[in-house]
Structure formats: structure tokens, C-alpha cells
A and B are shown apart, each in its own frame.
Chain A
């Protein structure tokens, strides 16, 4: 059965800290891994990764995929209170469905 596991489930840090969120997966015919940020209800797209070892970067956020070890990490440097959210990892296989992990709930304290 396809599955995506995220860790940690929750994390509390102080502004300025760096955090690393983990996502491991077992999905048939892997094609893509996506990271989303969810603050209220709508997941907003952060990154899509399809190739191993190529880092995607956007401001203080970056992500990389390891297709051999079947995991991805999302790094956030110099965290701000506005980074507080649930971060969702999702994997697309041979079909159109996304398989989501349970998310990591990040709280950044001032």
C-alpha cells in the first residue's frame, strides 16, 4: 500500500532557528514529490521535486529529494512567526492522485 510518512509530527522553535522537516515514502511508480504549506484550510504549493539531488530553493525555504533512499527534506532557515503552519508532503505515483502524509505542525515563537 502506498504511504507517505512525515516527521516530526510537531515542532516548536524560536524565531531565527533553522528547521528540517522530513518526508519518507513508499509509492508505486513514483513521479513527483510536492511540498505544501497549510495555514488555514488551503494548502499552498511550495515545491515539486522529480529528480534526485537537485535542490529547489525559494527564499529561506529549500528542498531536496533522494529517490534512492525514498525521502525528501524541507529546510527553513532564519524562521519567522509567519512560517508557523502545517507543512504537508505529498507524492504522485503513476496516477493522478496525490498521497499525503499527516503533516508537520510548525510553531515559531517570537
Chain B
């Protein structure tokens, strides 16, 4: 696609529920990144994919968070047993190769609210 597409735009869920957030990167971009932005803060790195594999998941806060990219294009961020502290904007970005020197385009984000 022309840009990075994220769905849903907004998600409200109850504490303890499972959610999936989807990211469709720019066509042909091999690198895909997930960031989380809490209110009043800058985005924080969660996970990086090069192709199908998660090259670095060191930013995932705990084992309730998991992400996949099975065909090297669309990625899904999965959060189990959601907590109120998970409320944030989840941003996805993609680039043509590894790192910001190769362009780093962000999607519009998913605003997750856990009530």
C-alpha cells in the first residue's frame, strides 16, 4: 500500500481480555517495527521484524505481549490478559531496509483503552 496501515484505529477492551492489533506495512518494506506511546511520552520500542522473523523483541514488556509476521508482510501484535496499564497508542513503522537511514514511516496507530 501507499502508507503503513493500522487497524483498528481505536480499541476499547475490558481488563483481562485478549486483543490483536494489525499492521500492514508499505509494500516491499522488509523491516517492520512496533512502538508503544503512553500519554505524555515519546514512543518506546517494542519489537523489530526483518522479514518473517522477530530479530529483536527486547522491548516487549512481559510475556503477555507477542507479535507475529508469518508471511513477511502484515504483522499482528497480540496482548493477552490485558491490564489497564496497557492503555496506550500502539504505533507500527516500516522501512525498506534495517534502520532509520532507510526511511522510517509510521502508521496512524491504534489507541488501546483497557477499562
Contacting B at CB under 8 A, from A64-99, are 88, 90, 92, 95-99
Residue A16 CB within 8 A of the other chain: no
Q: Is A46 an interface residue (CB 8 A)?
A: no
Contacts of A88 in B (CB 8 A): 42-43
Bound: A101/B43 CA distance, A = 8
Q: Which residue of B lies closest to A43 (CB)?
A: B106
B104 with A34: CB separation less than 8 A: yes
Interchain pairs with CB closer than 8 A, number: 68
Nearest Cβ distance between residue B93 and chain A, in whole angstroms? 8
The answer to whether A41 touches B111, judged by C-beta atoms less than 8 angstroms apart, is yes
Tell me which residues from 63 to 104 in chain B have a Cβ below 8 Å from any Cβ of chain A.
89, 91, 95, 98-101, 104
| Interface residue tally for chain A (C-beta within 8 Å) | 25
**A13 to nearest B CB, angstroms?**
20
The reply on B109 being an interface residue by CB < 8 A is yes
Q: How far is the CA of A48 from the CA of B103 in the complex (A)?
A: 9
A105 to chain B, nearest CB (A): 9
Does B113 sit within 8 A of A, measured CB to CB?
A: no
B106 surroundings in chain A (CB, below 8 A): 36, 42-44
Least Cβ–Cβ distance between A57 and chain B, in angstroms: 20
Question: For window 38-82 of chain B, which residues contact chain A by CB distance below 8 Å?
Answer: 40-45, 48, 55-56, 59
Q: B31 at interface (Cβ–Cβ under 8 A)?
A: yes
19 A–B contacts, CB within 8 A, in A order: A31-B99, A32-B101, A36-B106, A40-B108, A41-B108, A41-B111, A42-B107, A42-B109, A43-B106, A45-B104, A90-B43, A92-B99, A96-B33, A96-B98, A97-B48, A99-B45, A100-B43, A102-B41, A103-B41
Which 9 pairs, one residue from A and one from B, show the smallest C-beta to C-beta distance?
A100-B42, A41-B109, A92-B100, A42-B108, A96-B99, A97-B45, A96-B98, A43-B106, A100-B43
